[in-house]
Amino acid sequence: MIDVKNLHLNRQMTFRETLAIIERGSVGMALLVDSEGRLSRTITDGDIRRELLAGADLDEAIARMGSQEPVTIGTDCSRRAALELMRSKSVNYVPLVNKAGEVTAIWDRAMIDDQVLLSTPHMGDSERDFVEQAFATNWIAPLGPNVDAFERELADKEGIAHAAALSSGTAAIHLALILLGVGRGDRVFCSSLTFAASANPIVYQGAEPVFIDADPGNWGMCAKSLERALEASKRQGILPKAVIVVNLYGQSSDMDPIMGLCQQYGVPVIEDAAESLGATYKRKASGTFGLMGIYSFNGNKIITTSGGGMLVSDDGDLITKARFLATQARDPAAHYQHSVIGYNYRMSNILAGVGRGQLTVLDDRVKARRQVFDRYQTSLQSVEQLNWMPEPDWSYSTRWLSVCTVDSRTKSRDDVIAALSDDLIEARPVWKPMHLQPVFASCPFYSIENEPVADRLFNDGICLPSGSNLQSEQIDRTVATLQKVFS
């Protein structure tokens, strides 16, 4: 930070002294102020050059210069507005002027042009080594030692017997449904409050999605709504072929009652743990409760291979079949024979190398994201209009995203997101529930509330910048903007 006082000039100072001040300040300008310290004009070396060419002497007082309206910004100016002004005026520095007309700071374009993003990839130290190994041994294929090792290492870490590395989390859900024989005319239950990738594979298989409301205590699938849907399905004589339980924003659903119900009705569970790798439910790894679980390594997830996914299960036959289907379903014959339809869903050996490196830092990434959440919650404790996503006693959430809801009687979530955006901070609404999506408009939806929990969370919820590589200063900036919004 520059001490603005060092840039101050008065009219009696000479051009030579002014040039020295501009030189020392390194922001390309000096500030001509009146006796009360209010800014009269800015002076750049270009202004001085023009005066000298017009006949001024270097040792003459700058008083001979005319007046000129300075380009300034107010102290309540947003970063976006300041940047727009600097771009339009082609300047890199602008004085920040308070209500009294005094300059309180100089804004530097390079410094304020810093976007705080929601969730970005965060590489560790060993990813390159594993990728190098793949190059060195020419294993540039959707198979190879990194793929095998990544599967084994992830399965060991999560405490599950088997894993298949795939091209995406969506592919993992799709294969899980195929393995359960889901097809035309079948129903599959799925959490409504989620990303569309949880539900799309149901439609790939020609089956009908049935959506289940969220639990206000953990935002995952609501067991009571699930019970209501299972009872109704039983009455109608078509029980679902599977239930896709989504663990939202890094937190497990309440698995005990959900598993209990699904066992009672004999329906297998697929756990969509795309967002909850590294989380636990009652100290057991999230994603390991259902018959199958899936993880995602998309670029915005807690660890990433740029794109990728994993299907996990304690049932080795299922995972063996998944690997077979994911590599074009080739029968064991040299002459390319196929008895069933296959898919090209395997993860490449190069990306698996990235995954192996990322897995070694998973615990650190979880801790860092939890710290981001704690910083927000602690710093914004006094802002009563914000409520933070709950974490029940049984949960250890990854806090993949830091999410809060805003009291809509005070401010709308869109107002808050817009204010953050004006300060170049990326925030997003909570997922739009599937039962509100145009593409799923005709699908059944079960809730135990008149106003579904998923609808309320969507209307009021805000996802804040949450990456494990966020700078402390960026968190402070986000906090400061939120405090300003609610002050």
Ligand X SMILES: *Cc1c(COP(=O)(O)O)cnc(C)c1O
Give CA–CA dist 309/368, Å, rounded.
22
* 97 vs 177 by CB, closer to ligand X: 177
> What separation in angstroms does the CA of 471 have from each of 2, 52, 481, 485?
22, 46, 16, 22
- From the list 15-23, 164-172, 213-221, 359-367, the region that binds ligand X by CB under 6 A is 164-172
Q: Is 168 in the site for ligand X (CB under 6 A)?
A: yes
Q: Is 298 in the site for ligand X (CB under 6 A)?
A: yes
Q: Is 354 in the site for ligand X (CB under 6 A)?
A: no
> Smallest distance, Å, CB 461 to ligand X?
15
Q: Is 121 in the site for ligand X (CB under 6 A)?
A: no
Closest to 220 in 3D by CA, of 394, 91, 423, 339: 394
- From the list 73-81, 109-117, 162-170, 230-238, the region that binds ligand X by CB under 6 A is 162-170
* 168 vs 233 by CB, closer to ligand X: 168
Contacts 24+ apart (CB under 8 A), 231-235: 232/446, 233/187, 234/265
Please identify which residue in 78, 146, 170, 348 interacts with ligand X, judged by CB under 6 A: 170
> Smallest distance, Å, CB 171 to ligand X?
7
> Smallest distance, Å, CB 196 to ligand X?
8
Q: Is 309 in the site for ligand X (CB under 6 A)?
A: yes
> What separation in angstroms does the CA of 118 have from each of 390, 400, 421?
20, 10, 11
As a residue count, the chain comes to: 487
Q: Is 198 in the site for ligand X (CB under 6 A)?
A: yes
Q: ∠ CA(281), CA(286), CA(288), 5° rounding?
A: 110
Cα of first residue to Cα of last residue in the chain, in angstroms, is 26
- 3-state helix, strand, coil split of the chain in percent (to 5) is 40, 20, 40
> Smallest distance, Å, CB 409 to ligand X?
30
| DSSP H/E element including 165 | strand 162-166
> Smallest distance, Å, CB 163 to ligand X?
15
Closest to 180 in 3D by CA, of 37, 284, 318: 318
Give CA–CA dist 22/43, Å, rounded.
8
Please identify which residue in 18, 233, 252, 296 interacts with ligand X, judged by CB under 6 A: 296
Q: Which residue is nearest to ligand X (CB)?
A: 169
Q: Is 194 in the site for ligand X (CB under 6 A)?
A: yes
Contacts to ligand X from residues 358-417, by CB under 6 A: none
Q: Is 245 in the site for ligand X (CB under 6 A)?
A: no
Q: Is 277 in the site for ligand X (CB under 6 A)?
A: no
- From the list 4-12, 106-114, 189-197, 323-331, the region that binds ligand X by CB under 6 A is 189-197
Query: Which two structure tokens, joined as six digits, stand for 469?
Result: 């590589």
> Smallest distance, Å, CB 236 to ligand X?
28
* 22 vs 359 by CB, closer to ligand X: 359
> Smallest distance, Å, CB 307 to ligand X?
6
* 168 vs 280 by CB, closer to ligand X: 168
Alpha-carbon dihedral of residues 416, 420, 421, 425, nearest 10 degrees? Answer: -140
Query: Which two structure tokens, joined as six digits, stand for 482?
Result: 């939120």
* 42 vs 313 by CB, closer to ligand X: 313
* 296 vs 348 by CB, closer to ligand X: 296
Q: Which residue has the tokens 């636990």?
A: 280
Which residues are within 8 A (CB) of 179 and not within 5 positions of it... i.e. 6 or more apart? 292, 318, 321, 322, 325
> Smallest distance, Å, CB 483 to ligand X?
30
In 361-410, alpha helices (H): 362-379
Q: Is 175 in the site for ligand X (CB under 6 A)?
A: no
Closest to 419 in 3D by CA, of 462, 388, 387, 380: 462
* 226 vs 244 by CB, closer to ligand X: 244
Sign of CA dihedral 422, 426, 430, 433: positive
* 296 vs 481 by CB, closer to ligand X: 296
Q: Is 276 in the site for ligand X (CB under 6 A)?
A: no
- From the list 195-203, 220-228, 234-242, 346-354, the region that binds ligand X by CB under 6 A is 195-203
Please identify which residue in 95, 144, 169, 465 interacts with ligand X, judged by CB under 6 A: 169
Kindly determine how many residues on this chain lie close enough to bind ligand X according to the rule CB under 6 A.
14
Q: Dump the DSSP string for 423-458.
A: TTB--EE----GGGSGGGTTS-EE-SSSS-HHHHHH
Please identify which residue in 274, 352, 425, 457 interacts with ligand X, judged by CB under 6 A: 274
Backbone angles phi, psi at 103, to 5 degrees: -80, 125
Q: Is 246 in the site for ligand X (CB under 6 A)?
A: yes
Q: Contact positions toward ligand X, by CB under 6 A?
A: 168-170, 194-195, 197-198, 246, 272, 274-275, 296, 298, 309
